[in-house]
A = this chain, B = another copy of it.
Amino acid sequence: MPDCFADRLATAVKETSTPLIVGLDPRWESLPSCFRDDGADRATAYRDFCLGVIDVVAPLVPAVKPQAAFFEQLGWPGMKALAQVIAAARERGLLVIADGKRNDIGSTAVGYAEGWLGAESAWGADALTISPYLGDDSLEPFVQTARDRQAGLFVLVKTSNPGGRFLQDQQSDGQTLYRRVADWVEGSAAEQLGDCGYGATGAVVGATYPEQLAELRVAMPHAWLLVPGFGSQGGTAADVAPAFDDRGLGAIINSSRAILFAHARPEYASRYGEAEWQRAVEEATRDAIAELRAATSAGKL
């Protein structure tokens, strides 16, 4: 029996000494031109690019987070590429958090849960992001499946985009909606704690709202937080500091574009450029790790 997801994540964070995870968000127009010029179809280019990123980051970070949307955009060949990317990442020892933001009503949610979660499932992800609008009974099948398969979940609580306020920030019965979801997440997480002190049900909380991040860390003491929005979306290492406990655990911080397409960033372009795009990925990853170590309790890892 493998360890529960929460403990596997804690172990991976400690072994790599960083909470940084790399989002695999291939975008055609941003790929190094070697992937766009050789006549390969887009799905193959996405796969090969992501495999190249995985080669570089596998020794450096605990997990990758493939974004389903970009693969799905290409139809089933894109989904086949996604499956290959997930398998390659797992083979390299990375945890894989599939960013699908899936959900449906109960009996249909089972389909998503069983398909995505667990090493023996069709997609073989270690964890999945899910959306709560359909309600608590739509989340339960994911919790059950995650428990059965030692997998993890990250429920959308407070997202990094400005429009998140449209529903998430609405006040009801004296609390925000995002807090209502957070309370559910905490209840679920606390039901099945790993040795690390966290549960299998976690929360997505954006880096762009540091005040809410601090509030939600306190509200969900037993939930791993998956924090997007660091880097290209404007969240700084200081902004994400409140996401951690005092051991440097409890949060993983995602960076996608700032790492994947580092070859085009001014600070790396002049030294590496497109031809050495993997060296740019490596240096951007190391720089992000250093930033997080300097500004957060992840420095204690």
- A137 and B166 CA atoms in complex are apart in Å by 9
Contacting pair A177 B168 (CB below 8 A): no
The contact sample of 6 A-B pairs, CB cut-off 8 A, is A69-B104, A69-B109, A69-B115, A76-B79, A76-B82, A135-B164
Contacting pair A167 B133 (CB below 8 A): yes
Among B161, B180, B184, contact of A137 (Cβ-Cβ < 8 Å): B161
- By Cβ-Cβ distance, the 7 closest A-B pairs, closest first, are A137-B163, A135-B163, A75-B122, A73-B115, A69-B111, A135-B166, A170-B172
- A107 and B108 CA atoms in complex are apart in Å by 27
Whether A136 is near chain B, meaning CB under 8 Å from some CB there, is yes
- A72 and B136 CA atoms in complex are apart in Å by 22
Which A residues are within 8 Å of any B CB, using their own CB? 25, 67, 69-70, 72-76, 78-80, 82-83, 99, 101-106, 108-109, 111-112, 114-116, 122-123, 131-138, 156, 159-168, 170-173, 177, 180-181, 184
> How many copies of the polypeptide does the oligomer hold?
2
Contacting pair B131 A133 (CB below 8 A): yes
- A46 and B104 CA atoms in complex are apart in Å by 19
- A259 and B103 CA atoms in complex are apart in Å by 23
Residues of B within 8 A of A160 (CB): 105
Contacting pair B70 A108 (CB below 8 A): yes
Q: Which of A109, A156, A166, A168 is the most central at the interface, judged by chain B CB atoms within 10 Å of its CB?
A: A166
Residues of B within 8 A of A115 (CB): 69, 72-75, 78
Residues of B within 8 A of A70 (CB): 108, 111
Contacting pair A108 B138 (CB below 8 A): no
Identify the closest chain B residue to A111 (Cβ): B69
Among B72, B116, B123, B138, contact of A163 (Cβ-Cβ < 8 Å): B138
Contacting pair A69 B163 (CB below 8 A): no
